[in-house]
Amino acid sequence: MSSLAESIFPPARRESAAAPVVDAAAPRAWSLRGRVLLLTAAVTAMAWLVGGTGMYMVSRHVSDSLFDQRLRDIASTLLTFADHEVNEVRAGGAEIVHFEGALTIGARYHYQIWSTEGELLLVSVDTVGIPFVPVTTRGFTNVEIEGQPMRVIVMPSDDGSKVLEVAEPLAARKGSVDPGFGYLLIPLVLSLALLVGVSTWLVRRATFALRESARQVTQRSPDDLRPLAVADTPAELTPIVAAINSLFARIENALATERRFTSAAAHELRTPLAAIKIQAQVALLTRADGDRRLALERLMLSIDGAAHMIDQLLTMSRLDGLIALRAKAVRLQLDAVSSHVIDEVRPLAARRQQSIVEDLAAADIEGLEFGVAVLLRNLIDNAVRYGPAGGTIRVSTGTAQGSCFVRVEDAGPGIPPEQRQRVFERFYRLPSNALVEGCGIGLTIVQTVAELHHARIELDASTLGGLCVSVLFPPAGAVTAQRDVVIERDADDGLPA
């Protein structure tokens, strides 16, 4: 029993539930949340830097505009009082160049008043006696005077008889702007800290469902296959959670099926093993050669029955692998596969003096050759086992009403209509077949393979007097189209096919 269990359910499948082995040499896993936070902080800092630079540029522009306006106002004021100043200087006896004897408008400003003939009429203290810029210039100009960058405005008087030039050092403007801009750094730094804090909170909030899902999975025992329950799951994580829950459901169903299968198989194997033991004991205790030979023949029959049951159980276990290979279906000639299976089963029929009549017409389907061969082998094997000795078995293939069919008929007792649904249950056998060797999973295998190939099974009475089993397959091409529709629907649902 232990070797049978290991052959049906390999140890690798049972060990898969063990804790994963951590490879110390593997590279450290990166954090999605850490990368999102780092990216958010970098983008926030860049936005802060661009915004701060923009604010600085705007403040500089506004400040320069205000300083220019102030310089213009000073120039207008000087022109207003220029005539009075010039008249006072001339009343004192000076005729050509005149200098102010005291500061009038502050040390940071320097001015010159020129006549239209190029005569310097009035000049501020500590100011050069040559024009800052040509007197024909109008408006604002940046020039360098005695090695110092200056902002100069040139403005004519209302009557056009005089031209005023006022210069202001650019260094004086910068000294007035920088302290004021320093106060802007405080809200900028506070806003940066606020943005980083809010971004961190939002990222942690957004990844809560991911961390909660991981926590639920890592803290579970191997036999805890309940669906993940994560509140407020984001749309990006919903397909992953749904796929995990679907996987849990499939695993739970597979484990439940294996438990039922193992229990039923162990129960069913007791009968042939007990028969083998009894026949061996009879052969051991029998003295007469004839009786001993008869006991040994019965022992061989019991062994054949047990071997057949084990083969059926192994076939059932292999069908699980076919489900994973359903996308690898190929084009098959149903008549060729049927002919090959008939050649394999013919010796068993000959042992019972039964004849197999072939009526094989062309029928192309898409499927897995192993699965279709298993289906046919079980149908013909049942017909041989339950048909009378010397009877006839008819196997036919072909196409009808848009389907490809394989049909197996025998001359056995048949199956009553009220029992035709139950015969597909695992280990179910008709009471009338109790004397025939079997384990009751042949038609279960047939149904599993049929469902895998989108085929349907019909049970009816045969013209030979027994049972007629028809399996109707979709023709080649129809299965591919149907599978493409299923895959497309699964992709729209965000679930694996």
**Candidate from 71-75, 157-161, 437-441, 489-493 with smallest mean pLDDT:** 489-493
Confidence label for 187 from pLDDT (cuts 50, 70 and 90) = confident
Burial class (CB in 10 A: 0-12, 13-18, 19+), 91: exposed
pLDDT tens track for 280-322: 887 778 778 777 788 787 777 767 766 766 776 666 666 655 5
Check whether 480 has a pLDDT greater than 60.
no
User: Taking the CB of residue 367, how many other CB atoms lie within 10 A of it?
Assistant: 26
pLDDT at 336: 92
Structural domain spans, the chain:
220-324, 327-497
**Candidate from 54-63, 78-87, 346-355, 403-412 with smallest mean pLDDT:** 78-87
pLDDT at 497: 39
**Candidate from 171-185, 299-313, 380-394 with smallest mean pLDDT:** 171-185
Q: Considering the chain, what percentage of its residues have pLDDT values greater than 90?
A: 11
pLDDT at 293: 80
Confidence label for 409 from pLDDT (cuts 50, 70 and 90) = very high
Check whether 148 has a pLDDT greater than 90.
no
pLDDT at 354: 92
Summarize the confidence of residues 320-348 as an average pLDDT: 79
Confidence label for 335 from pLDDT (cuts 50, 70 and 90) = very high
pLDDT at 6: 44
CA proximity to 386, closest of 338, 347, 440: 440
Check whether 22 has a pLDDT greater than 60.
no
Summarize the confidence of residues 217-242 as an average pLDDT: 76
pLDDT at 358: 92
pLDDT at 182: 58
Q: Provide DSSP, 363-419.
A: -EEEE-HHHHHHHHHHHHHHHHHHSPTT-EEEEEEEEETTEEEEEEE-SS----GGG
Secondary structure of 266-318 in HEC code, one letter for each residue:
HHHHHHHHHHHHHHHHHHHHCCCHHHHHHHHHHHHHHHHHHHHHHHHHHHHHH
Check whether 477 has a pLDDT greater than 90.
no
User: Taking the CB of residue 478, how many other CB atoms lie within 10 A of it?
Assistant: 16
C-alpha angle 415/418/420, rounded to 5°? 50
Give the residue, 10 or 319, on which the prediction is more confident.
319
Confidence label for 359 from pLDDT (cuts 50, 70 and 90) = very high
Give the residue, 260 or 222, on which the prediction is more confident.
222
CA proximity to 360, closest of 340, 374, 344: 340
Find out whether 157 and 138 touch, Cβ atoms under 8 Å: no
Q: Give bridge partners of residue 460 from the DSSP assignment.
A: 468
Check whether 14 has a pLDDT greater than 50.
no
pLDDT at 250: 79
Q: Give bridge partners of residue 134 from the DSSP assignment.
A: none
**CATH number of this structure's domain 220-324:** 1.10.287
pLDDT at 394: 94
CA proximity to 128, closest of 108, 145, 143: 145
pLDDT at 229: 77
Check whether 180 has a pLDDT greater than 70.
no
Task: Report the range out of 100-104, 405-409, 479-483 with the highest average pLDDT.
Answer: 405-409
Beta strand 392-400 pairing with 355-360 = parallel
CATH superfamily of 327-497: Histidine kinase-like ATPase, C-terminal domain (3.30.565.10)
Check whether 456 has a pLDDT greater than 50.
yes
Find out whether 68 and 155 touch, Cβ atoms under 8 Å: no
Summarize the confidence of residues 420-432 as an average pLDDT: 72
